[in-house]
Amino acid sequence: MLSADRAGLPLGRRPGKPGTVYLVGAGPGDPELLTLRAAALLPQADVIVFDHLVAPAILDMAREGAERIYAGKQRGNHALPQQDLNLLLVRLAREGKVVVRLKGGDPYTFGRGGEEVAALFQHGVPFEVVPGVTAAAGVAAYAGIPLTHRAYSQACVFVTGHLQDGSMGLDWPALARPRQTVVIYMGLLGLPTLCRELMSHGLPPDWPAAIVMQGTTAQQRTVSGTLATLPGLADAAKLKAPTLIIVGEVVRLRQQLTWFEAPPDDEAIS
């Protein structure tokens, strides 16, 4: 049962307010993973500003006549530079519109949501942040890989596969530790570097690792192996973005816990 806000309305049914920007997480792909609040706001929006990874079925939930503005970002191909996008959100809100800024996954997890909200705050624009199921949680669950497990992992670390300057300058000693799970967003192109650096900083070549393409969708494909073998396996499988990489002993459990895809037929991990 939904709880109520101070106005007595269920939280999932609060009306969108004109002149407000709603930063909404669209989840990792499967439209059924939307939150109730996200699903309630989409039909109320005058304008939807959406990212590359938002599923078409989610956009179909918008009302007929709502303006749709594509603001997707792919590696080396940004429909709108971030500064221009920030100012667009400000302008739309000042025109008195209900604006839904729809972002894949969770807006505050490698989604530049913090930058956009900071710009709204600086310009005095009202905003609300609607969390979404981030890729690490959603994709790992659909791939049959728990992020933590008492026998294997007591910590979980999320990192991005490329920094603002395009490099992969991560804290390798902190990532190359036992009894933790490392989840890498946007790391497909850097996969060979990732595996090489983790091994050079102490993890063994047979350390379990997996990569998931288009997780939670009908096109999901998971390839698992080890730090030594995963780059070659991923290359042979011709995987394409979006992908999520999971490194840690929890990957061993995929053989038992897979439920969304067919049983694993890639490299077994002893």
CA atoms of 215 and 211, how far apart (whole Å): 10
Residue 180 contacts residue 251 (beta carbons within 8 Å):
no
- Rounded to the nearest 5 percent, the helix, strand and coil shares of the chain are 30, 25, 50
Of the candidates 239, 230, 214, the one whose C-alpha atom is nearest the C-alpha of residue 267 is 230
**What are the catalytic residues?**
51, 73
Handedness of CA 239, 241, 243, 245 (dihedral sign): positive
Handedness of CA 260, 262, 263, 265 (dihedral sign): negative
DSSP characters over 3-60:
-B-TTS-BGGGPPPPTTEEEEEE-BSS-GGG--HHHHHHGGG-SEEEE-TTS-HHHHT
Q: Which residues contact 54 (CB under 8 A, 6 or more apart)?
A: 26, 102, 103, 104
The β-bridge relationship of strands 221-226 and 20-25 is unpaired
How far from 176 is each of 41, 197, 205, 227, 259, CA to CA, in Å? 41, 9, 12, 11, 29
CA atoms of 246 and 175, how far apart (whole Å): 12
